[in-house]
Chain A
Amino acid sequence: MSRITVTVDGTKYEEEVEPRLLLVHFLRDRLGRTGTPIGCDTSNCGACTVLMDGRSVKSCSVLAVQADGADILTIEGLAGSGGWHPMQRAFHEEHALQCGYCTPGMIMASIDLVQDNPDPSEEEIRSGLEGNLCRCTGYCNIVRAVRKGAQELGAAQ
């Protein structure tokens, strides 16, 4: 067992974990942060994407011990006192989700994408989200939502 200290959505946790424990299982099973779902076991689908020290990672391919000392932001920590994050609002407005299972990962990945590229083209969004799979939407509205989220984030800055 290893002792790790991780901040998740603003709360600091000190936990003993098995070295093999995946970050996503740490979040879900140990901390009860079930907003981050698991869609596959080969890091292809991206449903479990979270931000680790500000960058998107697939939390199924990070060990909890690798997150020692890190600051993790999940979908559950995204909305602030002012309400939903602009990217959350954009996904709602553009109907960019149906079953919603990919949505937490899709939103977190989109936020990272827009951090790197504040004004992405449709093609840049499509290639930037290649690692996040959605089975419901056909992606058209996701692309629109990311454009809109990017614009609103840009306007807010």
Chain B
Amino acid sequence: MTDTLPEAEIGRARRRKEDGRLITGRTLWTDNIQLPGMLYIAFLRSPMAHARITRVDTSAAKTQPGVVAVFSGQDLADEQGSLPCAWPVTEDIVIPDHPPMAVGTVRYVGEAVACVVATDRYKAADALDAIEIDYEPLPAVLDMNEALAEGATPVHEGGNRSFTWQFGTGDVDAAFRDAPVVIERTYVQQRLIPSAMEPRAVVAQTDGDTYTVHSATQIPHVLRVMLAATTGIPEHKLRVVAPDVGGGFGSKLQVTAEEVLALLITKRLGRPVKWTESRSEGNLTVHHGRDQIQRISLAASADGVLRGVKVDLLADMGAYLMLVTPGIPLLGAFMYTGVYKMDAYDFTCTGVFTTKMPTDAYRGAGRPEATYAIERAMDELAHEIGVDPLEIRRRNWIKHEEFPYATAGGLTYDSGNYEAATDRALALFGYDKLRAEQSDRRDRNDSVQLGIGVSTYTEMCGLAPSRVLGSLRYGAGGWEHATVRMLPTGKVEVVTGTSPHGQGHETAWSQIVADALGVPFEDVAVLHGDTASAPRGMDTYGSRSLVVGGIAVLQACEKVKENARQVAAHLLECSPDDLEFTGGAFRVRGTGAAKTIQEVALATFAAHNLPDGFEPQLDAGSTFDPEAFSFPHGTHLCAIEVDTETGESKIRSYVAVDDIGNVVNPLIVEGQVHGGIAQGIAQALYEEAVYDTDGNLLTTTMADYLIPSAADLPDFTTDRTVTPATSNPLGVKGVGEAGTIASTPAVVNAIVDALSPYGIRDVAMPCTPERVWRAIQGGTS
């Protein structure tokens, strides 16, 4: 036994345990699975945005080579059920029936209408051509304002308004009455396609009694419950596995038509089936993100001190409500007050049906939209009263000594230090020097103008306190579970309810366990993503895994340690209170006597000599349900060069200083921040799902939907400040979405700043060269 303590694992830049299989191609993606007798499913999808199905003839397809079965929506109408919406945000919300395959009416291009089951994927695709479907077109409904107008074509019988949800604090009318400065702006959050690199895939199989579904999903546990509820297959007969999953960003936080149908088809045919989407199919039918029209109003004093904020939001639900579709704007509802103090706040959101792919969670889910609106509007306020964007923020933000702070957004921010993060960002960025260069370029009337964008964001993470979710009418809780098992040889298995798909939980959870139990990092294995081995969990989304799931791991370790303490005390013939636990061993205070946790594990396995009545095992589970959200924050600064002759923008430097509390693995954190920033920049500059006037998606491929490549992005400068969260024992806040939330307004603020000499105060996202150029032409005319 060594007396020198090993280096603390928490805080260490451990290289990831996950990498070995990923860099050698030994990964188990769902599409890799091949089973004896496996059949392949291909879907025929609606070419119409809105139409009645008047005739379906699958007879010719059934005779094609290799075809085992063909199903239309009608064929499965009695058993396919309705895809679930778990977040009925108001009592009177309209939740239309959502059959996995359309019956009678199609409501978006790409909606499944029939499918072929064949012996290989090529034959399945071939036979789709032999299915005959007649449609009677109905008007497409594409614009939210038109959808809500009198006489609009209804997407569903109940009309196009799904719900209106309101929230407010303080007297917002008083705040706006006679306000010296009122800023009113409308921003459009364009529709985005999440674009995880791994397309969706599902494999379903049965032994005639039980069912196993492998799916490229973020939510194997939620999926199991929902598949049972939707198909009637009893939950205990259904196992769901998320094997290696290639990214999600919210897009795999879903219960999809294809998952339900694969399960039903394997039940019908008794053979294993696989479906893997093509990217083009995925762009049409993986749920989209954002798509909101935001009307934001600020009331302020003459020197720019905020009095109140009003937000009126239209949120495009698309054609149906999927798993958490109506809840997404609510996740932003409490964040429009940002890092700022004010007396009153009012928020109204209306969910609108259109004939487009449904929207749902996409990285940040509601919070990027809110942050964008308030951070853009704060720049407008700064411009209006003629002060620097940083100065307007300093005049309004919550000062570090004011935490905990109850915001007008109805939340209590537990900790933070906006001044420190901003000071650090400014130092890294060289703010004053860049401002001087900007001034110089303006004076010279340079064709390349420099813009500087600021975003001082906060967000709420750690989804979520179950009671809060209940009060918002969400259908489930927000706890997370972990079980820690001490194996006889002293190795440790952690069973986590989180479901990583790139986040590195195998590594980070090992670090938590290594510190808590004093075992080597290498001696910890993390099991996840299989409801047979990890039966309890709420899965991975909303920057919740560490903040909720990581705490469950820590708490389970504490229980294991207390169990082990009883055994150690018995073996050492002392009171448990006489033992201290350091360096992986229980030591009798004041003597040299000690037992390592590995020795205790072996003694417990042998069970020859245990305390009276002690069950011979050390394992423990813990379920953590946080009391409160956590609130990461930070300051992002972007310098962008805009070529006023071509409209092209080029990010010159990007600095992010994030405060995500304590850090388990700085390497993983930096990676999350990098990727998040890239996705936020992508919204600002590149990406948009475009439908034509007939409701056809034009951006069905990666040639049309512009995911940035390495050549489109700069290097990022990142750093951190640390004010630990007070809502959990690790003091962690969550980092998965911070970069995406912060970066979009930083970039657009920079572009508008560059163009302000032209009288331009807004450019619609994505700020393409064409849009920037047109703005300049309009602005100078």
Contact = CB atoms under 8 A, between A and B. Distances in A.
Interface residue tally of chain B, by bracket?
35 or more
Interface in B1-29: 15-16, 18-27, 29
B27 A35 contact: yes
Given A44-B701, A99-B501, A135-B679, A130 B671 contact: no
Interface string B227-267: 00000000000000000111101000000000000000000
B199 A103 contact: no
B25 A34 contact: yes
A3 B197 CA distance: 33
B650 to A, nearest CB: 12
Interface string B664-682: 0001101110111111000
A141 B710 CA distance: 11
B195 interface: yes
B713 interface: yes
B24 A93 contact: no
A73 to B, nearest CB: 11
Nearest to B673: A138
A142 B710 contact: yes
Contact of A99 (B23, B121, B198): B198
A39 interface: yes
A18 B22 contact: no
A108 B276 CA distance: 24
Contact of B15 (A34, A95, A135): A95
Contacts, number: 183
B302 interface: no
Given A34-B32, A98-B502, A78 B24 contact: yes
Nearest to B281: A41
Contacts of A34: 25, 27, 29, 31-32
A66 interface: no
Contacts of B709: 126, 129-133, 139
B402 interface: no
Nearest to B672: A98
Contacts of A138: 674-679, 713, 716, 739
Contact of A103 (B22, B120, B671, B675): B22
A90 to B, nearest CB: 10
A47 B24 contact: no
Contacts of B707: 133, 135
B504 interface: yes
A135 B701 contact: no
Contact of A135 (B27, B121, B197, B244): B197
A84 interface: yes
B671 A139 contact: no
B278 interface: yes
Given A98-B247, A138-B674, A141-B674, A47 B15 contact: no
B138 interface: no
Contacts of B199: 38-40
A114 interface: no
B671 A137 contact: yes
Contacts of B23: 75, 84, 88, 91-92, 97, 100, 103-104, 107
B702 interface: yes
Nearest to B276: A38
A140 B197 contact: no
Contacts of A44: 701-703
A101 B667 CA distance: 19
Given A37-B246, A125-B710, A91 B29 contact: no
Contacts of B198: 37, 39, 99, 101
A59 interface: no
B195 A135 contact: yes
Contact of B702 (A42, A93, A140): A42
Interface string B708-748: 01110101100000000000000000000001000000000
A41 B671 contact: no
Contacts of B668: 95
B476 to A, nearest CB: 25
Contacts of A97: 19, 22-23
A38 B31 contact: yes
B702 A92 contact: no
A101 B34 contact: no
Interface in B353-367: none
B614 interface: no
A45 B710 CA distance: 12
A88 B22 CA distance: 10
Contacts of B777: none
Contacts of A84: 23-24
Interface in B189-221: 195-199
A98 B504 contact: yes
Contacts of A101: 29, 196-198, 246-247
Interface in B735-773: 739
10 closest residue pairs by CB, A with B? A35-B25, A101-B246, A100-B22, A99-B502, A138-B678, A138-B674, A44-B702, A40-B279, A98-B502, A34-B32
Given A33-B25, A125-B710, A140-B715, 18 more contacts: A29-B120, A29-B121, A35-B27, A37-B31, A75-B25, A93-B15, A95-B668, A97-B19, A100-B21, A103-B22, A126-B710, A127-B711, A129-B709, A132-B709, A133-B709, A134-B197, A139-B678, A142-B710
Interface of A: 18, 20-21, 25, 28-29, 32-42, 44-45, 47, 74-76, 78-79, 84, 88, 91-93, 95, 97-104, 107, 122, 125-127, 129-143
9 contacts: A35-B25, A98-B247, A98-B671, A98-B672, A99-B198, A126-B709, A136-B502, A138-B677, A138-B716
